[in-house]
Every structure is written in structure tokens, then in C-alpha cells.
Amino acid sequence: MAGNRELDTATNTETTGHEWDGIKELDTPMPRWWLLTFYATIIWGVIYVILFPAWPLIHAATPGLLGYSSRVEAAKEIADAEAANAPLDQALMATDISGDEANPELLAYATAGGGAVFRNNCSQCHGAGAAGARGFPNLLDDDWLWGGTAADIEQTVTHGIRYEQDDDTRFSQMPAFGDILSSEEINQLVNYVRSLSGLDHDSALTQEGSVLFADNCASCHGEDGKGSYDFGAPNLTDSIWLYGSDPDTLRETITNARFGIMPAFQGRLSADDIRKVAIYVHTLGGGQ
């Protein structure tokens, strides 16, 4: 590759003697300022290595004289953001939580923050869109087991449901009627319960079913089967079924009962985060 230097007639410049398939390289001197710029970058690099974390060692990089750390910076930014939000958090805790739009700015703050809390802590069971799943209530509809006001939701999130580590948890237990009633009686109850919400049923069995319902179920679910927020007893007359409304599922529910658990978030989330997520859930379309 290296060959003889020669003079290029078009430019009056020497070639380097390097040639690639007939293309020759001119030996044009580079501008001095370019060289100085190059030296400046070297000096910059040396100073940077001294001042900032640079060389990777086994456990960490060299710390640098300035002690800069992106983690510390991120932590500071988070602390700054929290400090900036502190007045809003205080205002939120000082306000009566009604879920109404008394203060649009506060509501916007609460729903934005609550959305983040929900996606981190609630979406695992209730879904990112809060539509729930079998056994995990849909939070978008207008049907609530323990009440759907913002205050009710805040109470549920704070203390959980059937969460025995929390003394104030919402607690109720449906008996497993498989030990109490015969299979025939359970079948009559299934048909009666389905008749309450207008589902297909054997009307020959509902008469006996209604008597059994009044004796065994009405104390929690009510005479009319509309349920009660006090016991977390579902409304049996509407279109919404947490576990399903087909006869087999109902038979299973009555025979063995259900015992859905939601953990208490008191202690895991701050009081203002719980309030935010309660307000967020309240604004999803089903709040009362």
C-alpha cells in the first residue's frame, strides 16, 4: 500500500504515498486550531476522570473528587418533588374526602397520584384498567360489596378485607352450607337465587328455595336479596357476579362459601397515598 510520495498537480500538495485502488491520499496539513481542539478534549477528558466517577473497579467505579452520583441526584430530585407536593398532600388530608370536585386542582392532583399508586399496588389483582377478574371485584361498575363512597374505599384500602393481621379489617364470613343443608336444599336455593336476578331457573323449586333463603341467607343478604354493605354481602338481584352466576358456580359458592382476601395497605402506603388511590378509584365511573 505504501508507495512513493508524489506531487498532486491539481492541488500542489504531496500525497502520503498511500493508494487504494487508484485513490491516493493527499498529505494536507491539518489546521492548527483543529489540533488545539483535540488537545483540549484530552485535557477535558483527564479533568473529567479526576472529578467524576470513571474507572470501573470490582465493586464500584472510582468515585471522583466531586463525589457525584446519579443515584444521589435522583434521590434528591424525588425528595424535591415530594417537598413540592407537601402542601397539596396536607391540603388533601385536611379536606373531607367526599370524592366531589370541591377543589379541581386537588382532585386532579389526587387522581394523577392515585393512578400511579393504583398501577403499582392494585393492578396485580384488579387489573391495569381496574376491570377486575373472577373473584377480584371490577372497580368500574356501580356495584360495591362494602360501599362505594370515597370514604368507604379509603377504609377498605387502609384496613383490607378479611385481612386478619389488621384489627380493623372489614370482616365477614359466609358459612359453608354444605355442612348444614342437603344437596337437594342447596339446589333449591340455587334456583331461588337465580330467580332473584331474572336468570333461567326451575320455578318448581323456588318456593322451597325462598323459605330456605329467609331462614339461612336473609340475615346478611337481606329479605329481598339486595345484600348489605355492613357485612360485605353481595346484592343477589343485579347483573354483577363476582364468581359467576351459572348453577354450578352458585352451588359451589353455597356449599363451600367464599373467603376473598384483600391486604391492608396501612403501613405499606402513606395515608395521603391511600387517600389518593381511594379518590382515583372513586372517579373510575362507579363511585357513589
Ranges within 211-230 binding other proteins (CB under 8 A): none
CB of 36 to other proteins, least distance (A): 9
Window of 56-64, 140-148, 165-173, 252-260 that interacts with other proteins by CB under 8 A: 140-148
Ranges within 8-67 binding other proteins (CB under 8 A): 10-14, 27-35
In three-state secondary structure terms, 2 is strand
DSSP code, position 177: G
Cβ closest to other proteins, residue 28 vs residue 120: 28
Cβ closest to other proteins, residue 129 vs residue 135: 129
Q: In what order do the strands lie in the sheet with 23-26?
A: 7-8, 13-20, 23-26
Among 19, 141, 208, 252, binds other proteins (CB under 8 A): 141
Rule CB under 8 A: is residue 103 a binding residue for other proteins?
no
Residues 6+ apart with CB under 8 A from 260: 135, 136, 161, 162, 242
Applying CB under 8 A, the site for other proteins has a residue count of 34
In three-state secondary structure terms, 228 is strand
Query: Which stretches within 122-217 are classed as H helix?
Result: 123-126, 150-159, 183-196, 203-216
Cβ closest to other proteins, residue 186 vs residue 281: 281
- With contact defined as beta carbons under 8 Å apart, do 212 and 185 qualify? yes
CB of 232 to other proteins, least distance (A): 16
Cβ closest to other proteins, residue 149 vs residue 216: 149
Residues 6+ apart with CB under 8 A from 241: 234, 249
- Distance, first Cα to last Cα, the chain: 84
Among 3, 5, 76, 288, binds other proteins (CB under 8 A): 5
Window of 4-12, 52-60, 76-84, 186-194 that interacts with other proteins by CB under 8 A: 4-12
Among 149, 216, 270, 283, binds other proteins (CB under 8 A): 283
Pairwise CA distance, residues 186 & 190, whole Å:
6
Among 50, 65, 128, 261, binds other proteins (CB under 8 A): 128
CB of 250 to other proteins, least distance (A): 18
CB of 58 to other proteins, least distance (A): 39
Give the phi and the psi of residue 44 in degrees, each rounded to 5.
Answer: -55, -45
In 10 A of CB 27, how many CB atoms?
Answer: 13
Window of 39-47, 212-220, 233-241, 271-279 that interacts with other proteins by CB under 8 A: 233-241
In three-state secondary structure terms, 110 is helix
Q: Grid coordinates standing for 217?
A: 341467607
Pairwise CA distance, residues 266 & 270, whole Å:
7
Cβ closest to other proteins, residue 144 vs residue 163: 144
CA angle, residues 258, 259, 260, in degrees to nearest 5: 110
Cβ closest to other proteins, residue 22 vs residue 31: 31
Pairwise CA distance, residues 241 & 85, whole Å:
40
Among 106, 131, 218, 220, binds other proteins (CB under 8 A): 131
Q: Which residues bind other proteins (CB under 8 A)?
A: 5-7, 10-14, 27-35, 101, 107, 127-129, 131, 138, 140-143, 235, 238-240, 283, 285
